[in-house]
Every structure is written in structure tokens, then in C-alpha cells.
Structure 1
Amino acid sequence: MKHAAYRKAVTPMIIDAHTHIWGGDYENSTRELLRACDLFGISKIHVSGLKSHYPDEAEVGQLNADVYRFMKEQPGMVEGYCYVSPAHANALDVLNRGIEQYGMNGMKLWVATFCDDPRVFPLVERCIDFNIPILIHSFHKAVDQLTYETTGVHVANLARRYPEAKLLMAHFGGNCYHGIRAVRGLRNVWHDFSGTPFRRDDVDYAVERVGADRIVFGSDMPITYLVNYGQVEEADLSQEDKDRIYYKNALELFDRSLKVG
């Protein structure tokens, strides 16, 4: 509890916009997330379910059901992303169910397709109707790039096509010097730095290029948390900028009454 007391003394709250339940490991995943929230004074987490890179329809349905269960068990603390595979014929139905029936407040895209694949477009248009953000896994790798793994270039293509869409590019694009450069100037793209290569100056670089008002705290929990927190604490930022990253930007991003711009 020492950590939680310290956190609350520094900033009013932390909202972690990028956490996971791992498919088939509901109890352990949720236990670890709740333990971290208690230990580190995290006020709210936004959760998606993940398992295999190229899931079938049944797997996607179960992952979303797990997130919905967690939301019901922890109201007020847990919010859910509706995970969809644009490669599935029922993707739009899955999204509608997640938002309208489950009460989720975002959509998650992983690695089933590039985010600028035409099959994604109807989903983005529906998210614009709902005015919800789209969390996009984005990772530029020197080796072992997955077949349909989105990079900042794909995010930029989607952002230009849909300037009214709220896009949250995860992981600083895997390499902030590649990902952020690709989307710089696109004001409908926000950024999280969950699970990034752990460079001390990533956050400083991002704030310099896109501004503190476009960076959202995310950790990739239950994989990691403290390193991402340390990146903010060690960055050369004002307390106001830190507060924007820790929670203020997320409050605005998920506010369905606020439009892009």
C-alpha cells in the first residue's frame, strides 16, 4: 500500500488505457490486474481480451464475453474494448453487440489485418457513429514482423481517410522514431507507450513531436506496469503534462460527447 499512497500524493489518478485478459487464463489475469490497481493506486483500467494472433469467431466471442464478465464484476473500475477481427464476416455484428449490449466504450484491433485494410472501414465508420476510440496494435520490428502487423504508416493511412475517427496508436508504434514520425500532424491520432522498448527518452521525444495532449498512459498489464510509469516520472515534464498523460487525456478520449478536434 506504500506505492498506492505515494501515487495518490503525486497525481489525483491513473487511468491505464491498455490492459489485457489472456484467453483461457481469466482468473490469473484478472487477479493480477486488480492486484496492480490496488498496489499502485490505479483508478481505472481499459481491458481487451487476447489469445491467438488469428482467432476464429468463437475465440473472439469468448474473449469479449470474458471482458464483459470482468466489467460486471468490477463496475466503475473496469471498462472494456470490443475486440474484433476484420477478417470475420460477423465483425460488425460483434462490434454492435459489444457496444450496445455489453456497454464497452472502445474497439480493439490486433494483428488479423492491417488497420487500413478495406475490411476495417465499415468498423471504423461504426465507431465514428458511436464516437468511441479505436485501440490499434502498432509495432514496427527489425525482425519477426507478423504478416499483418500494423505500423505507424498504416495508422497514418487510416487517420487521413477518417479524420473524424479517434485512433489510439499503441506502443508508440513499437519504435517511437518510426511510428510517431509517420502520424505526426494527424490530430485524430493519440498514442500510448505500453510495452515499448524501454528507452528513457521515448516520452520526451513523443511530447516534443505531438504534444502531451495526445499521449495516453498504457501499460500492457499484466505484462508490465512500473517501467511505463517510470518513463513518465523520469521524463522532463511539468506536473500538468504528467497529469494529462496519466488520466486527463484518457477522460477526454473516452468521452463520447467530445468529437475529434
Structure 2
Amino acid sequence: MIIDSHIHLHLDSATDDPDIGGKIIRDAMRCGIGACIASHVIAEPSCGGGAYPSSRHLREANSYAAEQARRNPGRLYFLVYLNPQNPDWKQELERGVENGAVGVKLWISLKNPHGGLEETVAVLRRAAELKLPVLLHVFNRTGGNLPGEIDMMEFAWLSRTVPECVMIAGHSGGNWRESSGMLKYCSPNVYWETGGSNPDRGMVDGILRSCPPERLLYGSDAPGRAFTPQIWKIMESSLSPADRDLVLYRNAMKIFHIPEPAPWSEIAPRNLSVPAGEDEDHYCFCGKYPFDRRRSIPPEELERLLAEHGIRAAYTAELDSIFHIDLPESNGEFLARCSGLQRIRPLAVVNPDAHNWIAVLDQAASGGFSGVWVSPAFHCWELGSPRYTEFFKRCAEREMPLWVNCGFGEPRFFHPSLKLCPVEDSEIGEFMNTAPVNAYVFQGKMPPENLPRREDCRWVLTPLTDFGGKLKRFMEMNPAPGLVWGSEFPFRDLGEVREATCTQFR
């Protein structure tokens, strides 16, 4: 059994769909979720929403959420969404309670124009009087938070200022690695929630080093996030079955004072065809990522893991080489370590912005490598620039396939010293208009919907699995983009993307 403690009815626009709650619940049940706790946060300012929503918007949003909960009794509950800066927040809170709210949702509007939190403190005190838990959006963004957004240190201060209020830190503070030691600064009535970020391998075990399972909640942040990748964070952890139940639903029952959901009746299968090539991995890495404490994954260990997961061929770049200056040496050492391995297809890392790119490409083409890995995102060059025409021409002449990386991991929480250059759709459009015929695989980016299809361009489906319904929608396009499988290992568990895909299709 699972209770999802953090979903939304819509994120980007208002809606008059009378069955949106039912649709979300039916999608949730395919993942074993028995009930969801929703708020109606709309990010689009033109609808009256945005970071500091108007009183009128909040009345409409909360009325809509209450109606969806009434239509789905025992399956959908709602949180009354408030803007502490609105002078009538007390009236909206009381109205929410009258309509059956099981808690309060606070998003970004927590700080006043002077950066103070006095209004938010008042909301928390009133919620405590009403015995309502409060789910707060908490984030630690690389490069600084949005105006009004609070970080974990500010959340901890709020919890100490109003210790009588049950408070939930949404997203585990965003950057869970920075947040993981902060629980000791919070009051005892604080809980953490896991939803919203990528299914980072080892995330929950990392949080559990300082947060006991009695104070951790599962949440997805759906539909902005798909259910299965968020559940996977819990399932791949080392939690015991009893502690897993605490995180997945028993803590939510206690905090929100709701009963255990009734079992579902039998779920009709969708019987949709998943993309071909399940036994290949086009988004795989080994070695050591230098910006966190994950241990190095040597090629021979990756080979064993690939066999355990039934992956026949993994087109693999080495993380050490990606962040290495001496690429000929680094690529050569990686190729030697892959010698004799059957499942790893080594890719040579090439930076076309480096002065020695011809020598590195010649080394890659001399034998042993299955293709070339390039990253305009991490090596900070513009994919569509004419400056790199000669590079792509030489790759095509040597019949060297290219894996074009547009990022990996969670860019909102990168180490500040790591510069990431986002690859824009316009760059990809320029590239597709000029690149010679070859074989290209794009990693870490959704296929742009407004660009023409090229038969020699394929896209790793991984990012499409993170957002509810995205993969299915792309598969139904005419023409559909060419998709290939990829795990994003070691940033994700090797089996996560496959499970997320099969849940959507089967």
C-alpha cells in the first residue's frame, strides 16, 4: 500500500476538467498507490497563480481541489493552498477547513518584500491551533533560490519558532545532500518528504543516515513527476519491509489523520508496446563522478551488473574522462580496462572545442571504441555553431557514431564549480539542418516537438519517463521520434527506467 503525500492537480494552467482527480487516481493505482494528497498550485501568473497567487486564484484553486476530493472519497484528499502575504489568508484557511482540507500547502510566497517570514509564522501558528500539518516547498538551488523561496536553514528556523506545528519539508530540501544533516536543527515535529527530484540512486539511504524512517514520507510531486521513478527512490533503498511501510503510507496516515486506503480492484492492463531494444543501454557511465561521494564503478563491476539486469550492450562513457584534460591518455586507459568485456561498448570522450580534437578523434577511430561521446552541456560549446562543422564531417567520414550528451543528473543541485551550459532546442535545430548523415543518439534531453525528424537521430527515452504521460504521448506522435533505452547509471539504478516505462505501457 502507498499513500502519495505530495501531488498537484495541475501545475501550468487552470482547468475545468471535472475528472482530473479521477484520472490521476487511476494512473496512481497502476503503481500501487491507494490514495493521494493534493494541492492545486498553478505556476502560470496569467491565471492569477505564480509564486505569489492572488486571493481570487486561491479561492478558485482550493474550491476545485475540494471538489475533486469529494468526487474521489477515500482516494483523494486535499491541502488548502495559502499565500501568507495575502491579508485574507485566515478566511481562506477557515474555508478550506470547512471544505475538508487535511492540511495546509505553502509554496514560494513565504517571504514578504523585506525578506521576512513573519506572515508565514502566523500561518504556522494558526495551523497548529487547528491541528493541521503544513507541507512547505523547501529548496536549495545551486546559484540561489527564487524570491520568496525558503531553504532548509530557514525551514529549520521556522520549525523552532513554531515547534507546536507539524511541518513537512517538501522535496527533502531539494538538494538532499546539503539538507541531510539539517534535521538536528529542526523541532521534533518535523518530517521530510522525498518527491520532486530525479530518482537519484542512493538518495533515500543517504537521507536515512540522519533522518529516521519514522520522520520520512513518500511523495511524488505528480503530475509534474511520474509516480514510478519517485516510488523507486524508496524501493531501491535498504529500508526493512516494516520501515518501508512507514515511509510509503503509515506516516502519512498518522500525520494527515486519514484511514488506510481500501485495496484496489483488479487493474485492466493497457497492453501497449514498449519501445524496441530493451536489452541495450545508450545512457550509461562507469568510473568516478568527482562531485559527490559515490564510489567509482569499474568496468568489470558494470559488466556484472549489466548481466544481472539482462542488458546485452551498454554504450558507455567514463566519468573520469569527461572531467579529464588529458583525453588521449584517459580514453586509452578506459579502452584497455574494457578489453575482453562483452557487454560494455566503450565510447571515446572527445571535446571538439579542445585544440587536439583531431588527435583524439583519430585515436577513437583507430579501433576498439564503439563510437564517440560529446557533450556541449558539460564542455560548454554550442552544438549548432559552424565552428564544429569540420568535427562532425570527420566523424561521418570515419563512420563513427556519436552520442550527444545534453546533461545528466539533477542540474538544479550541481556543485557550484561545475558549469553546465543548457543545450537549447534552437541549437539542436541548427545542428539537424547542417550535420552530415551519420548515427546520432541524444542523451539527457526530450525530443523537441517542433523540429523535423531525421532518421539518423535517436533520443534516449530516460527524461520522458520522469514526467507523467510524456513517454506515451511521444510514442503516439506521427511521426514518432526514434527512441532508444538508457539507464543514466550510476545516477539512477539500472532497473529504474525500465520499470517506469513498463508501468506506463503495461
| TM beyond 0.5 | yes
The 4+ residue runs of structure 1 with deviation greater than 6 A are none
Equivalence for 2:59: 61
Please list the CA deviations of residues 66-93 of structure 1 after superposition, one character each: whole Å capped at 9, or x if unmatched.
1011011011111110000001000111
Tell me if 1:24 matches 2:14: yes
| Aligned residues between the structures | 243
Please list the CA deviations of residues 116-155 of structure 1 after superposition, one character each: whole Å capped at 9, or x if unmatched.
7101122111111111110000111113621111111111
Looking at structure 2, the residues matched to 136 and 53 of structure 1 have their Cα atoms a distance apart, in angstroms, of: 13
Tell me if 1:152 matches 2:152: yes
Structure with the bigger percentage of helix: 1
1:1-261 equivalent positions in 2, closer than 5 A: 13-22=1-10, 23-27=13-17, 29-51=20-42, 52-99=50-97, 101-114=98-111, 117-143=117-143, 145-184=145-184, 186=186, 187-223=188-224, 224-255=226-257
Looking at structure 2, the residues matched to 19 and 172 of structure 1 have their Cα atoms a distance apart, in angstroms, of: 15
Residues 152, 180 of structure 1: 8 Å contact kept: no
Residues 32, 200 of structure 1: CA spacing in aligned structure 2 closer, same or farther, 3 A cutoff?
A: farther
Looking at structure 2, the residues matched to 150 and 181 of structure 1 have their Cα atoms a distance apart, in angstroms, of: 17
Please list the CA deviations of residues 175-231 of structure 1 after superposition, one character each: whole Å capped at 9, or x if unmatched.
112223223353211011111243111100111211011001100011221111111
Please list the CA deviations of residues 20-53 of structure 1 after superposition, one character each: whole Å capped at 9, or x if unmatched.
0124135374354122223122111100001122
TM superposition score normalised by structure 1: 0.88
Residues 78, 101 of structure 2: 8 Å contact kept: yes
Looking at structure 2, the residues matched to 142 and 77 of structure 1 have their Cα atoms a distance apart, in angstroms, of: 36
Looking at structure 2, the residues matched to 156 and 180 of structure 1 have their Cα atoms a distance apart, in angstroms, of: 12
Looking at structure 2, the residues matched to 184 and 114 of structure 1 have their Cα atoms a distance apart, in angstroms, of: 24
Q: Percent identity between the aligned chains?
A: 25
Residues 127, 133 of structure 1: 8 Å contact kept: yes
Rg comparison, structure with higher value: 2
Q: Greater relative contact order (Cα 8 A, min sep 6): structure 1 or 2?
A: 1
Looking at structure 2, the residues matched to 87 and 179 of structure 1 have their Cα atoms a distance apart, in angstroms, of: 26
Residue segments in structure 2 that go unaligned for 5+ positions in a row: 43-49, 259-506
Residue segments in structure 1 that go unaligned for 5+ positions in a row: 1-12, 257-261
Residues 79, 160 of structure 1: CA spacing in aligned structure 2 closer, same or farther, 3 A cutoff?
A: same
Residues 162, 144 of structure 1: CA spacing in aligned structure 2 closer, same or farther, 3 A cutoff?
A: closer
Which sits farther off after the overlay, 57-66 or 247-256? 247-256
Aligned residues: CA RMSD? 1.8
Residues 197, 79 of structure 1: CA spacing in aligned structure 2 closer, same or farther, 3 A cutoff?
A: same
Which sits farther off after the overlay, 109-118 or 174-183? 109-118
Looking at structure 1, the residues matched to 41 and 91 of structure 2 have their Cα atoms a distance apart, in angstroms, of: 19
Aligned-partner residue type, residue 59 of structure 1? H
Partner SS for 1:25 = coil
